[in-house]
């Protein structure tokens, strides 16, 4: 009887220990694979920078454009800001970002090291644009922490896997006052059954997780000099997410597909930039003074969308055969309202199928 009681208590202790692990350590990433470029739906793929591509009408880089701005970006309305040392966290709705009183070139290495130390491999590194992007990785903290897992998992760790993968993009925005803004955006994939028979699976995109974005921003604060206690207090003091009405919608302007946003330029520009990051566009350059993002887009090819089995089958498959198209995403504002339209590489309005799809992708993330 005593032995049975001891076993019961041991089982309860193990169960409570598992719960504690999930509550206190919810993030434990391990990259899916090293050194492989992913072919990621929904047809917004990452491509290497083409150094022969010059911004239409200018050969100035994003760094030079932003460094040459005469005025400092004005403070955003409805944005909460709290400072620890030289790091400020600001918030607008469900979006948070850091403002660091250091130039971007002094932050690049610490931020890059942070992601490597967090278990990620880097898929994209573009210092000239201030963009870092991780490879796809699995959050191992979501695995069940039972007795079998804790015993066999140490030896056969590869046998255990979740049905989700994540990747993160970090964007460093250089400001004219010498400070740097840091944005972290999340993209996720999940494995689902491909048919009712449940005899095969496919990987499909899942919604971005603002809480994960905030947590990694908090950890970057620690990497830049804040303490755990300070960073947690600052994030907690940001308050709850305010209830806001839907402020973005697809419309038509002068016969051209567009996104209409109930925001002035400063907030619209920032929100569109975050939307481009979350949806995986390859941003070649940007010119805030003209309200332009220069992007590359790979159209989907329905004939190549086979039902591939497994994560590596769907993500590490053949590269898209379609030639990448270059577009300009223009943010235009009049007073308290802004619009987003798609322009061709030559700066002329576009209304083709790709332009319509790009507008829908941006609008879906802004809602």
DSSP reduced 3-state for 42: coil
DSSP reduced 3-state for 22: helix
pLDDT recorded at residue 278: 87
Task: Extract the residue ranges of the chain whose pLDDT is less than 50.
Answer: 1-24, 35-79, 147-149, 151-159, 239-243, 301-320
Largest CA distance in the chain: 85
Cis omega before residue 109 (within 30°)?
no
pLDDT recorded at residue 349: 94
pLDDT recorded at residue 114: 96
Q: Which has the closest alpha carbon to 313: 167, 191, 198, 160? A: 191
Q: Which has the closest alpha carbon to 152: 164, 144, 141? A: 144
Residues 6+ apart with CB under 8 A from 35: 121
Which residues are 290's β-sheet partners? Answer: none
Residues 6+ apart with CB under 8 A from 167: 123, 133, 134, 135, 136, 137, 186, 187
Q: Alpha-carbon distance 55 to 62, whole Å?
A: 10
pLDDT recorded at residue 297: 82
Q: Alpha-carbon distance 96 to 89, whole Å?
A: 7
pLDDT recorded at residue 156: 44
pLDDT recorded at residue 282: 85
pLDDT digit string (tens) for 226-268?
999 999 988 888 644 444 555 789 999 999 999 999 999 988 9
The burial class, CB within 10 Å (0-12 / 13-18 / 19+), for 84 is middle
pLDDT recorded at residue 37: 40
């Amino acid at each position: 009887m005593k032995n049975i009681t001891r076993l019961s208590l041991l089982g309860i202790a193990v169960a409570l220990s598992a719960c504690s692990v999930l509550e206190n350590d919810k993030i434990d990433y391990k990259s899916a694979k090293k050194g492989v470029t992913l072919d990621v739906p929904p047809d917004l793929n990452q491509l290497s920078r083409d150094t022969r591509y010059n911004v239409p009408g200018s050969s100035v880089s994003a760094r030079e454009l932003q460094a040459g701005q005469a005025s400092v970006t004005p403070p955003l309305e409805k944005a909460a800001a709290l400072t620890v040392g030289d790091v400020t966290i600001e918030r607008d709705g469900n979006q948070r970002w850091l403002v660091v009183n250091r130039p971007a070139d002094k932050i690049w290495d610490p931020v890059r090291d942070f992601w490597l130390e967090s278990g990620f491999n880097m898929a994209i590194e573009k210092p000239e644009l201030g963009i870092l992007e991780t490879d796809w990785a699995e959050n191992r903290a979501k695995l069940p922490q039972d007795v079998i897992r804790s015993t066999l998992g140490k030896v056969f760790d590869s046998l255990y896997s979740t049905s989700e993968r994540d990747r993160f993009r970090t964007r460093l925005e250089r400001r004219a006052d010498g400070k740097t803004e840091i944005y972290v955006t999340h993209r996720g994939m999940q494995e689902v059954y491909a048919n009712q028979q449940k005899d095969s699976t496919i990987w499909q995109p899942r919604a971005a997780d603002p809480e994960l974005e905030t947590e990694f921003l908090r950890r970057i604060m620690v990497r830049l000099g804040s303490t755990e206690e300070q960073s947690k207090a600052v994030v907690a003091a940001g308050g709850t997410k305010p209830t806001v009405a839907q402020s973005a919608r697809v419309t038509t302007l002068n016969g051209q597909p567009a996104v209409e946003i109930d925001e002035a330029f400063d907030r619209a520009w920032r929100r569109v930039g975050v939307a481009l990051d979350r949806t995986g566009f390859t941003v070649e350059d940007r010119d805030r003074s003209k309200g332009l993002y220069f992007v590359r887009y790979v159209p989907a090819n329905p004939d190549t969308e086979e039902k591939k089995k497994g994560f590596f089958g769907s993500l590490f498959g053949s590269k898209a055969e379609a030639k990448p198209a270059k577009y300009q995403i223009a943010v235009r504002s009049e007073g308290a309202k802004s619009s987003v339209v798609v322009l061709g590489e030559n700066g002329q309005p576009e209304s083709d199928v790709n332009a319509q799809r790009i507008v829908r992708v941006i609008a879906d993330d802004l809602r």
